[in-house]
Structure 1
Amino acid sequence: MLRKADTRVHLTSVYEAFIDLGSATADIRRLDDPDWTMRLGLLTLVDAIGSTPFPQQRIYASRAVELPDGGLQVSFDLEGTGWRSHVVETTFAAETVTTRATVYGDGEQVRSVRALHARDGQGSTMPVAELYSPRFDWFAAQVRGSTKDHERLGAQQWLSPPPLVYVLEGTNSAAWIAACASVGELDFVSMDWQGGDACAVEFAYEGHRTVRGEFTTPAITVGFTSEGGNPAVREAVEWQRERGILPTIENKHVPTWWTQPIFCGWGQMRYDYRADHQGHENGNFINVTSYCTELRYRNYLADLDHHGVDPGTIVIDMGWAEQAALARPHPHRWADMRGFIDEQHARGRHVLLWFAPSVFEGLPVEACMTLDGAPIAPDPTSPVYQAILVEQIRLMLSSDEGCLDADGFKIDFTQCYPSEDGTFTSAVPNFAGLINESDARYLFPPLSEGPRDLIRTHGERWGIGLIRDHIGLIYDTMKRIKTDAALMTHTANPAFADVVDILRLNDLDGGCDDVLGVMRNRAELARICSEHWLIDTDDDLMISKERWLDYARLQPQLGIPDTYYVTGIAHSGERIGDEEWSEVREIWRRYRSERGLQAPVPVQR
C-alpha cells in the first residue's frame, strides 16, 4: 500500500514496516509486541583509505519492488560517496530484514563498511536499551550493556572470533543482528557496534579489500524473535546455515580417543616456575616456556600415575620447539620427543603439540606478512609459507623415521594475528610479540594515528578470513598425513565448524566469582557454533584449589575433562593432595563409564 510518493508500507505476519525512501529509513512495529518499535537505517556506506570518512551522500534514485515470495526489495542509488557507483539493496522478508551494498571503483582500498545507516549521518534507533554481545569476557558470564555503548566482536579476542551476532533484548521480545558473511567474505577484523542515540554496525577492513571493478559488502540481517540471549544467537546461526551461508557438516567421524580426558602441562609449568622464582613469573608469562621439558612432563605423568589419574590425551604446551614456527624440538628441553610420544602411544594415549600460527620465528621474510619490508607474522597466502607449513606438519605428525608422530595440534593465540588498527598492532617474531600492547620493540603505529603503508601479504585475505584460511590449511594438511589427527582451536565461530575438531574454551579467571557461569556460557556458545566439534573445557589460571576442584566437577557437563595441574595451583601455591585427586579420579571414571571409554594401559611397576 502506498502512503505517499516516497513511502511504502510492508506487512508480514511478524512485523509492519513503514519505509521512507526519502530518508532511507524503515519504522518497524512488531505485531506481537506493541512496545517494540525500531527505526532502521537502510543505507550501507563504504569508506576507502584516503577519502573523507562516510561523506554526506545524496540519494538520486530509489525503487521499491514487490518480490514473488511476498517480500519487498528497496534499492537506493547514491552519489557523493566517493565511488563510481554505489547501490544499496534491502530486502524485507517474512521474519527478517537484510541489507547490503555494492560499490564500483578502480583500485580503492576499503577501510570500513557501515551498515544500518540513514541519510545525513544518522543511524538506526533501537527500541530497547540492552545489547547482548556473545564474546569472551573474564568476569561476565554474558556480556550485556546499553545499545548506546560501543561493542566489538572480532578476531583479536580470546575466543577468536566469536559468533558475529548482536542481540537486542526487550521485555517481551528480541531481535538479532548478524553478519551474514560466507567464508569468502570474512576479510574484516571485526564487526563493531557503533552505539549512541543512533546506532550502526561497522566492519573493519583496514584497507585490505581492494575494489577492482565492484565490491559487494557482507549482508546484515535483522531477525525478529521472542527470546534474547543465546537462543537468539542460535537462531541467527541456524538461519544462516539453512541458507548455505555457513559451512554444513554431515556424518563427521569422531575417533574415540578425541573424547578422552586431557592433561596439559602449562598450569603445572607455571606452578613449578613460580616455586623456583619467589612466587611469580618475573613479569611475563613467556618465562614459563623454559619449563616445557621432557623431564618435567615425565615427572608430571608419573605423579598422575601415582594418583591413578590417567589422561588419554597429553598436550605438550608452549616452549617445546626450538623455533616456534618450525617442528624441531628444543634440544636442551626435549632429548627424545619421538621416544616420549612412542611411549604414550604404547599406553593407548595420544599427544597434541602446542602451535601458535601467528608467530614467525624461524621463517624467511618471503613467508611472512611485512611492513616496510620487515616481517610481521606468518603469511598463509604466501606460497613459500604454505610449502614450509606443509613440510613442518609432516615432520610433526608423520610416523616416518625422523618425524615426531604426534596426533594433532593445540592451536593457540589466534587473537594475535596482526591488525592495522586493533588491540594488537604488534609484530610476532617470537613469544614476546604475543598479546603485546606495551613492548615497543615490536609495536607499529596504528593506522588511525596517521597515514603509513599497509601491512603487505602475498594474497588478498585479511582479518577473520585470513585466520580461517590458515586454520583450514593446517586442518587439510594434517588430515592428509594422519586421518584421525585432532585439531583443537579457540575459534568459536560457525565459519570454522568444518576445519576444527575440538573447540577449546580458553583460559578462565579463577578469581571471578562466577567462573563456573562464565565457562557454562562459553560452552553453550561453542555448541551453538557447531554441534559437531568436541569441547575442551580448559583449566588454566585457577586462583585456588577450591575453584579448581569446583570446575573439575563441572567439566564433564560441558565437554572433555582437562587438568592443567598435578602437584599444586600456580596462583595460590596450594598443594593438591590425595583427597582432591581421589575425587578427580572418580569424576574421570564416571565420565569414561558413561561414554564407554577405556582408560590407558596402566604403567607397569
Structure 2
Amino acid sequence: MLKVSENSQYITISGNDYRLTLERSGISCDLKLKRSSQQYRFFSGGACNADGQRDLISEMQPWQSRQATPECLTYSRKCRSALWQKKEFVVLCRPESIEFFFRLQGQNRAITEVRFFRGIYQGSEFGFAGQYDEIYNTAVNFQERHYYHPCDSFRISFGNVLTNIVGGQALASPCHCLGLLTRDEKRCLVAGLAAALGQYRWDDFIWNPEVEVNPTGYHGDAHLAGGFALDYGGKEKINGEWESPHLLLTVATSRKQILPTYLQCCYQQGYLNEPQPRAIEKRWREPIYCTWHDQVALGYKDTTDYTRLEPPLMQDFCTEKYVDEWLDILERNHCQPGTVILDDKWQSCKNAADPDPKKWPDFRGWVERCHQRGIRVFLWNAAWDKEGLPDDECITRNGQPVAADITNPKYEKRFREMIRRYFSDAPNCLNADGLKLDGLLGLPTGAGLQNYSGLWGLELQRYYLQVLYSEAKKHKKSACISTFAANPYLADYSDMVRIADMYTHRLTTRQTMLRRAEIYQQTMPHTLLDTDGQFGHHLFDDYRHELEVQADIGIPCIYNAQWLRRSRMYQPVVFTTLTKKDYQEIARVFKQYRTRLENQE
C-alpha cells in the first residue's frame, strides 16, 4: 500500500521499497531506496526534442494530484515549452514501482529524443545524480562489459550499437533495462522503458545522453549530467496529442534480479505479455551440427590473418560435396546429429529460395536423402539483407537503400514466396525443416530512414518475425524457427533461440555461454536453446569438454565435423583436425543427452 504526506513545500510518497519526494514548486525530486544507502536527486522534468530543435523549458507549474487510490497515485505538472503547444510531466506511483512519462500536444513534429530527468530550464541544464557506484547493462555485448561508471554514456538498441567501445550487441533486440547499484550491497534501482503494446517504436535506450549546455566548457564536466533517454531518430511523427513511453523504476533484490524484476512489472501492468508454454516437436530437441566453423576453417586454412577477406571465402565451402563428407565423418564416428544447419551461403541469393546450382546440383534430392538418414535440414538466412532487391523494395537512409523493407507489399509478397518454397514439399520447393535466422542485429535504426509504412523500432522487428513465422507454419506446422532474439515481445515467433556468436575477451566461452543462457531463461523461458559452436572460441586444449556443459543447459551443438580452427584476436591461431578423443566425447555426450530425452518422455 502507498502512503503519502503533503505540505506546502513537499509531496512524499512511500512505496514498499522506496520513498519519493517531489518539490511541490521546485525543479528537483529525491528518491530513497528503503533498506539501502542508495538515494538519488534529479530534475523533475525532461526534454522532448524534435525536428533538430531543443525542448527549452521556461516555466514549470507546481505538481498537482490527478488520481489517488490505495494502489496508484498520479501527479503531474505542466511545463511551458518552446516546442510544444502543451507539455505535461507525469509520475505514477504504485507500491512496487514508479513510472514517469510525458503528455504532449503539437503539430507536424518529428520526435528525435525523449529525455527523462535531463532538460534545459531557464537557460541552464539540469540532470540526474545519486549515491551509487555503477550501472549494470542487462544487454550483453561481445566484449562482455556489464558494468559502467556513472560518467560513461552508452546505448541499448533494438538494432545494434557499433559505436560502443565494447563492440556490437550479442543478442538481438534486448530489453531496454538497466540497474543502478553500489558495490557493497545487493539491492539495485532498476530503470527500464515500457509502453503500450504496439508502441515499442523507438530505436535506442540511452544512459547519460550528450550534454547540451556545458556549464564550464571543460570536456570532463560534460559527463556528469546522467539521466535516461530514448532515441527515435526523427521517425516518430506527432500531430495532436501524444504520450511518451514510460520510464519505469523499481527495486531488485540483487544484480541477477534486475531483468526479471523489470519484466515482472511489465507483465503485471500489461506492457508486455508474459511468454506462455508452447508445443515442442520432439525432433527439434535433437543434437545439432552446423557447418559454419568447418567452412571458416577451410576459408582460413592457409593463413593466420583473421582480417583477410579475400577468396576463397567461407561461403564457398557450403556445398553438397563438403557437407556430405562432414556428415559421413560424424556418422562413422557415432556422432550423427539429428539436425544439420546449412550456413552462409547455400543459396544463390538471400532473397530467393534458389540453391546455388554449382554448390548443390540436386538440393531437394539431398534434403530427402538426409530425411532418410534421420537428419533434419535447417537453412541459414540473414534478416534485413537487401541482396538482389530492386531499390523500391528497400528501406532507405538519406535516399540510399540499406535493407529489405518488409512493410512494402511488393517485398512482403516476395518474402512470403521464399518462405513457402523453403518449407513446402510441393515440386520446385525445398522441403526443409527449419530456419536459422541470422542478421537480426541489422534492424535499421537511426536518423534519415524511410520505409513504406513508417513502422520502426521493436515493432518493425516484430512484424518481420510475425510474417516469417506465420508463413512458415502455413506450409509446414513442424517447421522450427530459430532466432537469437532476447525479448519476450518476440517470443511468439521463435521456437528456438541460439547462444549466438561467441566473441569474447576471455580465452574460453563458458561464462559467456552461461550468462546468455541466463538471459534467455529470463526473457524466452519456453523456447528451446541451441547452444551454438563453442570449440572454435576455446583456446585451451580441453575444448571438447564444453559440449557436456552445453547439453546441461540446452541442445548440444557442434560446428566442427572435421576441421577445427581455434582463434581469438591478437592470439596465435591453432588449426587442426578433430581427434579420436574429440569424436569419442561428442558421441558420448550425444548418446547421454538422447538417453536423458527418452527418460523425460
TM-score computed with the length of structure 2 as normaliser: 0.88
Match of 1:362 among 388, 392, 397: 388
Q: Aligned equivalents of 1:123 and 1:295: distance in 2?
A: 62
Q: Flag the 1:57–1:585 CA change in 2: closer, same or farther, 3 A.
A: farther
Give CA deviations for 1:186-220 in whole Å, capped at 9, x if unaligned. 22221111174332111111111111222221111
Which deviates the most, 196-205 or 64-73?
64-73
Report the Cα offset of residue 295 of structure 1. Answer: 0.9
Report if the CA contact (8 A) 1:511-1:542 is conserved.
no
**Is 2:202 the partner of 1:188?**
yes
Match of 2:343 among 300, 317, 320: 317
Which residue number corresponds to residue 177 of structure 1? Answer: 191
Which residue number corresponds to residue 166 of structure 2? Answer: none
Which residue number corresponds to residue 58 of structure 1? Answer: 59
Report the Cα offset of residue 12 of structure 1. Answer: 2.9
Structure 1 residue identity aligned to 2:584: S
Q: Aligned equivalents of 1:325 and 1:108: distance in 2?
A: 36
Report the Cα offset of residue 353 of structure 1. Answer: 0.8
Q: Aligned equivalents of 1:281 and 1:309: distance in 2?
A: 32
Report if the CA contact (8 A) 1:133-1:151 is conserved.
no
Which residue number corresponds to residue 338 of structure 1? Answer: 364
Give CA deviations for 1:504-558 in whole Å, capped at 9, x if unaligned. 1111137613521111111000110021111111116425473632421310122
Report if the CA contact (8 A) 1:71-1:94 is conserved.
yes
Which residue number corresponds to residue 138 of structure 2? Answer: 134
SS at match of 2:313: helix
Q: Aligned equivalents of 1:403 and 1:597: distance in 2?
A: 36
Q: Aligned equivalents of 2:6 and 2:196: distance in 1?
A: 37
Structure 1 residue identity aligned to 2:32: R
Report if the CA contact (8 A) 1:544-1:569 is conserved.
no
Q: Give matches, 1:417-436, under 5 Å.
A: 417-420=443-446
Q: Flag the 1:469–1:587 CA change in 2: closer, same or farther, 3 A.
A: same
Give CA deviations for 1:297-356 in whole Å, capped at 9, x if unaligned. 111101111111011111111111111111111111111111111112122221111111
Give CA deviations for 1:195-246 in whole Å, capped at 9, x if unaligned. 743321111111111112222211111001321x221211111221233221
Q: Aligned equivalents of 1:511 and 1:580: distance in 2?
A: 25
Q: Aligned equivalents of 1:294 and 1:597: distance in 2?
A: 35
**Is 2:459 the partner of 1:465?**
yes
Which residue number corresponds to residue 102 of structure 1? Answer: 103
Which deviates the most, 313-322 or 348-357?
348-357
Q: Flag the 1:46–1:84 CA change in 2: closer, same or farther, 3 A.
A: same
Report if the CA contact (8 A) 2:299-2:312 is conserved.
no
**Is 2:561 the partner of 1:566?**
yes
Q: Flag the 1:490–1:537 CA change in 2: closer, same or farther, 3 A.
A: same
Q: Aligned equivalents of 1:208 and 1:114: distance in 2?
A: 16
SS at match of 2:235: coil
Which residue number corresponds to residue 485 of structure 2? Answer: 491
Structure 2 residue identity aligned to 1:546: D
Which residue number corresponds to residue 543 of structure 2? Answer: 548
Percent of residue pairs identical: 22
Cα RMSD, aligned residues only: 2.3
Report if the CA contact (8 A) 2:508-2:538 is conserved.
no
Q: Aligned equivalents of 2:442 and 2:105: distance in 1?
A: 33
Which residue number corresponds to residue 158 of structure 1? Answer: 170
Report the Cα offset of residue 97 of structure 1. Answer: 0.9
Match of 1:224 among 240, 251, 267: 251
Give CA deviations for 1:385-419 in whole Å, capped at 9, x if unaligned. 11111111001110111100111211112112333
Structure 2 residue identity aligned to 1:14: D
Q: Aligned equivalents of 1:550 and 1:476: distance in 2?
A: 38
Which residue number corresponds to residue 409 of structure 2? Answer: 383
**Is 2:513 the partner of 1:519?**
yes
Which residue number corresponds to residue 207 of structure 1? Answer: 234
Which residue number corresponds to residue 43 of structure 1? Answer: 45
Unmatched 5+ residue regions in structure 2? Answer: 161-168, 210-222, 567-573
Report if the CA contact (8 A) 1:545-1:569 is conserved.
no
SS at match of 1:191: strand
Report if the CA contact (8 A) 1:410-1:488 is conserved.
yes
Q: Flag the 1:375–1:31 CA change in 2: closer, same or farther, 3 A.
A: closer
Q: Flag the 1:406–1:183 CA change in 2: closer, same or farther, 3 A.
A: farther
Give CA deviations for 1:62-118 in whole Å, capped at 9, x if unaligned. 312451124321202112240121122111211211011121222211111112336
Q: Flag the 1:520–1:394 CA change in 2: closer, same or farther, 3 A.
A: same
Structure 2 residue identity aligned to 1:186: Y
Structure 1 residue identity aligned to 2:387: E
Which residue number corresponds to residue 74 of structure 1? Answer: 75
How many residue pairs align between the two structures? 562
Match of 2:21 among 11, 18, 23: 18
Report if the CA contact (8 A) 2:385-2:439 is conserved.
no
Report the Cα offset of residue 158 of structure 1. Answer: 2.6
Report the Cα offset of residue 130 of structure 1. Answer: 1.5
Match of 2:500 among 506, 509, 533: 506
Q: Aligned equivalents of 1:70 and 1:509: distance in 2?
A: 46
Give CA deviations for 1:423-482 in whole Å, capped at 9, x if unaligned. xxxxxxxxxxxxxxxxxxxxxxxx5xxxxxx22200111233212211121111111111
Report the Cα offset of residue 358 of structure 1. Answer: 1.5
Report if the CA contact (8 A) 1:45-1:101 is conserved.
no
Report if the CA contact (8 A) 1:188-1:205 is conserved.
yes
Structure 2 residue identity aligned to 1:260: E
Q: Aligned equivalents of 2:525 and 2:313: distance in 1?
A: 37
Report the Cα offset of residue 365 of structure 1. Answer: 2.3
Q: Flag the 1:16–1:542 CA change in 2: closer, same or farther, 3 A.
A: closer
**Structure 1 runs of 4+ off > 4 angstroms?**
1-4, 276-281
Structure 1 residue identity aligned to 2:551: P
SS at match of 2:348: coil
SS at match of 1:596: helix
Report the Cα offset of residue 183 of structure 1. Answer: 4.5
Q: Aligned equivalents of 1:372 and 1:127: distance in 2?
A: 43
SS at match of 1:573: strand
Structure 2 residue identity aligned to 1:539: G
SS at match of 2:129: coil
Which residue number corresponds to residue 32 of structure 1? Answer: 35
Report if the CA contact (8 A) 1:262-1:315 is conserved.
yes
Report if the CA contact (8 A) 1:360-1:377 is conserved.
yes
Unmatched 5+ residue regions in structure 1? Answer: 421-446, 448-453, 599-605
Give CA deviations for 1:276-304 in whole Å, capped at 9, x if unaligned. 56775733699211211111111110111
Q: Give matches, 1:181-330, under 5 Å.
A: 181-194=195-208, 196-227=223-254, 229-275=255-301, 282-283=308-309, 287-330=313-356
Q: Give matches, 1:472-483, under 5 Å.
A: 472-483=466-477
Report if the CA contact (8 A) 2:293-2:559 is conserved.
yes
Report the Cα offset of residue 26 of structure 1. Answer: 2.2
Which deviates the most, 397-406 or 552-561?
552-561
Q: Aligned equivalents of 2:277 and 2:76: distance in 1?
A: 41
Q: Aligned equivalents of 1:275 and 1:96: distance in 2?
A: 55
SS at match of 2:63: strand
Q: Aligned equivalents of 1:352 and 1:391: distance in 2?
A: 18
Q: Aligned equivalents of 1:248 and 1:66: distance in 2?
A: 28
Q: Flag the 1:49–1:393 CA change in 2: closer, same or farther, 3 A.
A: same
Greater strand share, structure number: 2
Report if the CA contact (8 A) 2:507-2:537 is conserved.
no
Q: Flag the 1:47–1:310 CA change in 2: closer, same or farther, 3 A.
A: same
Structure 1 residue identity aligned to 2:510: L
Report if the CA contact (8 A) 1:511-1:543 is conserved.
no
Q: Flag the 1:379–1:210 CA change in 2: closer, same or farther, 3 A.
A: same
